[in-house]
Amino acid sequence: MLDELLGRLMLDIDQAEERIRCGDLAGKGRVLGHAMAVVDELALALNHEAAPDLCANLQRLYGFVRLRLGDANLRVDAEPLAAARNVLALLREAFLGAAPGQRP
């Protein structure tokens, strides 16, 4: 499930970059709004009681991604999306390494 959500976030980022390049402000806003909602859901799903340190670190990463998505949306600039994509790619790679048998 996490792999699918992270993959969807990365797809949203790709689509947002395309919308920015095309000047489709409404489409950019819609896609980035969806991406932010997914990040919020990921953050809400964290179980801080079960793994407080891990959850605190993930919360910070999700906050960083959300800030980059917001920057891209407000500035109509694709540059902050690269940083968000990099964090998500590393997180996805770590998840797949920790959960053998998950599809890439």
What are the CB-based long-range contacts (under 8 Å, 24+) for 57-66? 58/91, 61/87, 61/91, 65/9, 65/39, 66/36, 66/39, 66/40
The answer to whether residue 41 is domain-embedded is yes
Confidence of residue 101 (pLDDT cuts 50, 70, 90): low
pTM, to two decimals: 0.89
The answer to whether residue 103 is domain-embedded is no
CATH number at residue 18: 1.20.120.340
List pLDDT tens digits, range 29-63.
999 999 999 999 999 999 999 999 999 999 999 99
Is the backbone of residue 100 left (phi > 0), alpha (psi -120 to 50) or beta?
beta
The answer to whether residue 47 is domain-embedded is yes
pLDDT at position 96: 86
The answer to whether residue 102 is domain-embedded is no
Query: What domain range is 30 assigned to?
Result: 2-97
Confidence of residue 104 (pLDDT cuts 50, 70, 90): very low
Please state the domain count of the chain.
1
Contact 95, 102 (CB under 8 A): yes
The answer to whether residue 38 is domain-embedded is yes
The answer to whether residue 19 is domain-embedded is yes
CA–CA dist 86, 48 (Å, integer): 24
* pLDDT of 100 higher than 80: no
